[in-house]
Amino acid sequence: MKIVVLDGYAGNPGDLSWEGAEALGECTIYDRTAPTEKLERVKDAEIVLTNKVPFCAEDFEKLPNLKYIGVLATGYNIIDTEAAKAHGVVVTNIPAYSTNSVAQMVFAHLLNITNSVQHYTDEARAGVWSRNPDFSYQDTQLMELHRKKIGIVGLGNIGKAVARIAIGFGMEVFAYTSKSHFQLPPEIHKMELDELFRECDIISLHCPLTPATNNLVNAERLKTMKPTAILINTSRGPVVNEQDLADALNNGTIYAAGVDVLSEEPAKADNPLLTARNCYITPHIAWATKDARIRLMQMTIDNLQAFLNGQPINVVNK
C-alpha cells in the first residue's frame, strides 16, 4: 500500500513518530502541501492522510487508485464525503482525541480574562507593583467564577467536559442541546438559545459548523447579552460573525471574548478581532497538547489498521 501524508507538521512537528504508518506500507510524509502540489503527490496513492488539505468531487475523478482518506482531525468538512462514497473511497476521522485539551483551553481563556494573570505579571515586572503605596495593586476588575452562570452551546464530548469543570468551580451550568431534559445530569439545566445568551455570564461555544450554526453569534444576539458577559469560542470560526463581535467588544456591549478559532486561518491581517478591545486570541492550538497529539497519532494508525483489516472504524461516509 502506498500511503501519503499531505500535511503532517501540525500534528507532528517532530516530537512524535510516524513509524506506525511506515510499518503499514510505503509511506511518504510531507509537512505541508500546496493546492497545486496535491494531485501530483497523491496520484499513485491508495491511502491519503490529511488534516486541512481538501478533496473535492473533481479530485476523486482524477484519483482512480485512491481507496482511503484518513482525516487527521475530528472535523471532516474538507472532504466531499458524498463524492468519496460514490468513488468507493472510505473516509475516517479522529473523534474525541482532544476533548480534555480543548476544555482546558476554555478555562485558560476564561481565567485569563477574569484574573488577568499575564497583565499583572507584566505590571509587576515593569515595577508598577513596587511603586504602589499599598500591598495589593489592582487596576482591572477581577471576577469570581463561583455561582456565575455559564451557557454551553452544544453538549457533545467537549461541551460535557467543560460542564464538568464548571461544576467544579461551583458555577451554574446551562446548555443549549438537542438532548432532552431527562438525558442531562441534575447539575446541567437545559435552556433555549436566546435565553441562554440573555441570562448567562459566560457563553462557551461547542457546536459543529453547519448552515444552522453559521453566523450564530451576530449583532442581534450579542445585543441581548449582559455588558459584563464573556464569550468563548473553541468550536469553529464562522459560528461567530467577527465584525459584529469586534463591534460589540469595542462598544462595551459585552465585556470580553476568548477565541481559539477564526473564520480564516491563519488569521488575515485585517481581521477585526485582532485589534478589538478585550479580545484574547490563541492560534487554533486548543487541540494541540502533546497528550492529545499522541492520541491523534495512535487513533490514526488504529483507523488505518482497521481499514486494512477490512473492518474500518470511525467512518464518516457510510
What is the tens place of the pLDDT at every residue in 232-273?
A: 999 999 999 999 999 999 999 999 999 999 999 999 999 999
Helices (H), the chain: 19-22, 38-42, 57-61, 81-86, 99-115, 117-125, 157-168, 193-199, 219-222, 242-250, 290-308
Pair (107, 245) in one structural domain:
yes
Q: Residue 230 in contact with residue 110, Cβ under 8 Å?
A: yes
CATH of the domain at 21: 3.40.50.720
pLDDT of residue 48: 98
Look at residue 91 and tell me if it is in a domain: yes
What is the rounded CA–CA span in Å between residue 241 and residue 238?
7
Pair (250, 193) in one structural domain:
yes
Which letter does DSSP use for residue 257 in this model? E
Look at residue 60 and tell me if it is in a domain: yes
Pair (201, 247) in one structural domain:
yes
Pair (174, 53) in one structural domain:
no
Mean pLDDT estimate for the chain: 97
Q: What pTM value is reported for the model?
A: 0.95
Domain count, the chain: 2
Pair (26, 92) in one structural domain:
yes
Q: Note down the domain range covering 217.
A: 99-281
Look at residue 315 and tell me if it is in a domain: no
Pair (30, 149) in one structural domain:
no
What is the rounded CA–CA span in Å between residue 214 and residue 63?
32
Pair (71, 117) in one structural domain:
no
Pair (47, 190) in one structural domain:
no
What is the pLDDT confidence band of residue 177, given thresholds at 50, 70 and 90?
very high
What is the rounded CA–CA span in Å between residue 302 and residue 12?
17
Query: What confidence tens digit (pLDDT) does each residue in 108-132 have?
Result: 999 999 999 999 999 999 999 999 9
Catalytic sites, residue numbers: 236, 265, 284
SS3 133: coil
Contacts for 92 with CB less than 8 Å, ≥ 6 apart:
68, 69, 70, 71, 303, 307, 312, 313, 314, 315, 316
Pair (88, 213) in one structural domain:
no
What is the rounded CA–CA span in Å between residue 131 and residue 7?
51
Minimal CA–CA distance to 239: which of 211, 273, 279, 269? 211
Would you give the end-to-end CA distance of the chain in angstroms? 22
- Joined together, the cell numbers standing for residue 259 give 477565541
Pair (156, 33) in one structural domain:
no
Look at residue 52 and tell me if it is in a domain: yes
SS3 198: helix
Pair (43, 28) in one structural domain:
yes
